Amino acid sequence: MKPRRLGWAVTVLALPAQAATLTESDFLAELPVVLTVSKMTQPLADSPAAVTVIDQDMIRASGYQDIPDLLRLVPGFSVAYTRDNTYAVGYHGFADAYSRRFQVLVDGRSIYSPHFGEVGWGMLPLALEDIERIEVVRGPNAAVYGANAFFAIINIISKDPSQTPGKLAALQAGEQNMAGGVFRYGGEHGDLRYRLTFSSQHRDRFERTVPDDPVPGVTRDYYERTYTRFFNGRWDYRLSNTDQVSAQIGLTGGNWNAGREGDPAEPRAYEPLSGFAQLRFSRVTGADEEWAVQMSHVSDTSGKRDFLVPLPPLGDVIVEPNIRQWRTQLDFSATRRLNPRLRLAWGGELRHEAVEGAGGYGTDDRQEGVLANLFAHAEWRPAPDWLVQGGALIGHHYFTGFEISPRLAVNHYLSPRDTLRFAVSRATRAPTFFEQKGDAAFYTTGGTLVDQYFVPSGGLKPEVNTSAEIGYLGQWPGLGAQLDVRIYRDHVTDYLGDRSRTIWRDLDGDGVSETRDKHFQHLNGGTLDVTGLDAQLGWKPHRDFSLHVAQSFAHVKASADIVDDDLPESAPDWITSLLASWRFAPGWNLSAMLYRTDRMMWLSDGDTTRAYTRADFRLARQFRLGGAEAEWALGVQNAGDDYEEFRRQNIFSRRGYATLRLAW
């Protein structure tokens, strides 16, 4: 069955036999208020950017067991597991193993790491059961969040401890060695509310024995087994009717195996360790009057042990893969209504980042820097059917100096249910430590240089994205429907990528170059234009049925001098996702998830992957078990043909799973 026909079939089969009429109040009560775009609470119709909200019902109905997979529900997002418990996530192309062109926050804390700029999804100490919602801003948002809010913002908002009283246990088991457990305890004592969560997860992502492309008929074993455990705690204390202090801590550890049979450097096992602490004080004096200050510290080590690789006749080669990273961040934000038509948000950030690792920088010395920024965002309503928003962020980055990121957005209300949005903005992405200072080489134990595969760059400029968009938001309560469409153009200059170069080395000192050494260096070069369309439809014609459809089209055009020739192929032409959920009887729920992506090229260590369609199904039953609320679920991931993720060796096959959830 073709993907488009399959999507309609799932929709039709999922429709309930008898429809109960939804009232307008039923629908409007579920329209989300977003917090992320401007750091002010706003209805979707007032937002200066397009936003996708993934709520708890969508998370559970999808059947996804890992947070990055949830981004398949957002128009334009490409998602793939790479290796080493790492996910690759791209938005309208530029898709590589590091997700470094959008900012990712958890409760306002950035999890964007300073070394590669990657997002450590596999080390995130947050259970799906603790997520309140995920807000995804589809478009640049550097005017509020600064460098690296380049194409999008992903803000994961966890549940308040007041939402998680009592105990919860969730178990999962399935094929491909899927297993895991989550236990949570929430309570209160006077004005103190708290939540404690423990999790242990086991994954074996892909088929182990795969064809050893390009050698026909030859297979090789690839290992990708992970054990990950974490603890997360949150404590909220109400000091008064206006003041609250909140503290969070988290610790993640793992034992991961990755590699391939027959490689002297692999398979290897390593034990990553990551932790964070966060403290927030907030004061709310009115509906539009509040301020907050937050401080956080994050520390992690990749846990990769040094090892030796024999290389006759030169001797043993030293490999030092371990990387250690730190971030300390201080944030302040405030909102205030100046008059009935004018509201203002402002704030700032001070951040210290550091990284060290001899294998990546050629020295044991710590690489570090401090960045700072200030922002202001104003919301002005000159007339009932017009809303004008504008602001800018002024920041100083330790590599690129001062930058200004402005934004202007105008919303016009054609009717109470139809809104047009026009927006222009400018965003930057600063180079990471490795892009600027990466010095990666292999030496023998005797000090002989064997291979220099990355050399420092220095003097890199930030990437700049000048973006323009036209958006439409339609809300039809009588139909239980909401449509969000965005047409955009991103113009990227000073693209930052890496290019291989060849140098000749004189081994014996006689002045004659004898050995060719191919290395990589990060460079600015070329411009790109990304044009496309995002659309999402939410439809709830019945209390027991909901449908979420996301569709995107993207086209990347690169100049002739672009650093990375693969960039135009990094964006699938079309991506479609569909999530249907039907409560067909009391306590029974059936959901179907469809994800279809065209052919694309994954950057960095990825390969060209063919177009594929993935269909997931989940059947769940809710019931009472003694004094507990219980739910069991049976699911199938990828009910169709096997497909490749990120690289040719990553074969994702059909697999079944079961979950059990108890709350008391």
Return the pLDDT at 265. Answer: 63
CB atoms within 10 A of CB 207: 16
Per-residue pLDDT reduced to its tens digit, 56-98: 999 999 999 999 999 999 999 999 988 888 889 999 988 888 8
Return the pLDDT at 2. Answer: 40
Integer Cα distance of 157 and 119 in angstroms: 16
502 exposure class (CB count in 10 Å sphere: 0-12, 13-18, 19+):
exposed
pTM of the model: 0.91
Return the pLDDT at 25. Answer: 37
Per-residue pLDDT reduced to its tens digit, 614-633: 999 999 999 999 889 999 99
Torsion of CA 646, 648, 650, 656, to 10 degrees: 110
- Predicted confidence (pLDDT) at residue 273 exceeds the cutoff of 60: yes
- Predicted confidence (pLDDT) at residue 118 exceeds the cutoff of 90: no
- Predicted confidence (pLDDT) at residue 380 exceeds the cutoff of 50: yes
Structure tokens that stand for 122 in this block: 């596999």
Return the pLDDT at 217. Answer: 73
Structure tokens that stand for 526 in this block: 């070329």
| pLDDT (average), residues 576-582 | 98
User: What pLDDT band is residue 190 in, cutting at 50, 70 and 90?
Assistant: very high
Residue with tokens 């054990």: 227
Is 600 in contact with 620 (CB distance < 8 Å)?
Answer: no
- Predicted confidence (pLDDT) at residue 26 exceeds the cutoff of 50: no
Integer Cα distance of 105 and 83 in angstroms: 23
Integer Cα distance of 213 and 222 in angstroms: 13
CATH number of the domain that residue 341 is part of: 2.40.170.20
Integer Cα distance of 549 and 305 in angstroms: 45
Count: domains in the chain: 1
Is 538 in contact with 58 (CB distance < 8 Å)?
Answer: no
Q: Is the dihedral of CA 59, 63, 64, 70 positive or negative?
A: negative
Is 184 in contact with 158 (CB distance < 8 Å)?
Answer: no
Residue 62 belongs to what H/E stretch?
A: helix 56-62
- Predicted confidence (pLDDT) at residue 423 exceeds the cutoff of 80: yes
| pLDDT (average), residues 169-174 | 96
Collapse the DSSP code of 26 into the 3-class scheme (helix H, G, I; strand E, B; otherwise coil) and give the result: helix
Q: Which domain holds residue 553?
A: 3-663
Q: Best-predicted range by mean pLDDT among 250-254, 499-503, 625-629? A: 250-254
Residue 178 belongs to what H/E stretch?
A: strand 178-189
User: What pLDDT band is residue 156 in, cutting at 50, 70 and 90?
Assistant: very high
Is 174 in contact with 149 (CB distance < 8 Å)?
Answer: no
Per-residue pLDDT reduced to its tens digit, 540-578: 999 999 999 999 999 999 999 998 888 899 999 999 999
What are the residues facing 427 on neighbouring strands? Answer: 465
Structure tokens that stand for 168 in this block: 């919860």
Comparison of pLDDT for 251 and 5, the residue scoring more: 251
> What is the chain's length?
664
In DSSP notation, 446-498 reads T--EEEEEE----SPPPEEEEEEEEEEEEEETTTTEEEEEEEEEEEEES-EEE
Structure tokens that stand for 514 in this block: 């004898």
Integer Cα distance of 594 and 636 in angstroms: 12
DSSP state of 129: G
Structure tokens that stand for 399 in this block: 């590599």
597 exposure class (CB count in 10 Å sphere: 0-12, 13-18, 19+):
buried
CB atoms within 10 A of CB 445: 11
Integer Cα distance of 593 and 615 in angstroms: 6
Integer Cα distance of 164 and 197 in angstroms: 10
| pLDDT (average), residues 534-538 | 97
Return the pLDDT at 83. Answer: 81
Return the pLDDT at 502. Answer: 65
- Across the chain, mean pLDDT equals 89
Integer Cα distance of 78 and 71 in angstroms: 8
75 exposure class (CB count in 10 Å sphere: 0-12, 13-18, 19+):
buried
- Predicted confidence (pLDDT) at residue 224 exceeds the cutoff of 90: no
- Predicted confidence (pLDDT) at residue 38 exceeds the cutoff of 50: yes
User: What pLDDT band is residue 177 in, cutting at 50, 70 and 90?
Assistant: confident
User: What pLDDT band is residue 10 in, cutting at 50, 70 and 90?
Assistant: very low
Is 202 in contact with 227 (CB distance < 8 Å)?
Answer: yes
User: What pLDDT band is residue 213 in, cutting at 50, 70 and 90?
Assistant: low
User: What pLDDT band is residue 264 in, cutting at 50, 70 and 90?
Assistant: low
Residue with tokens 């990769």: 304
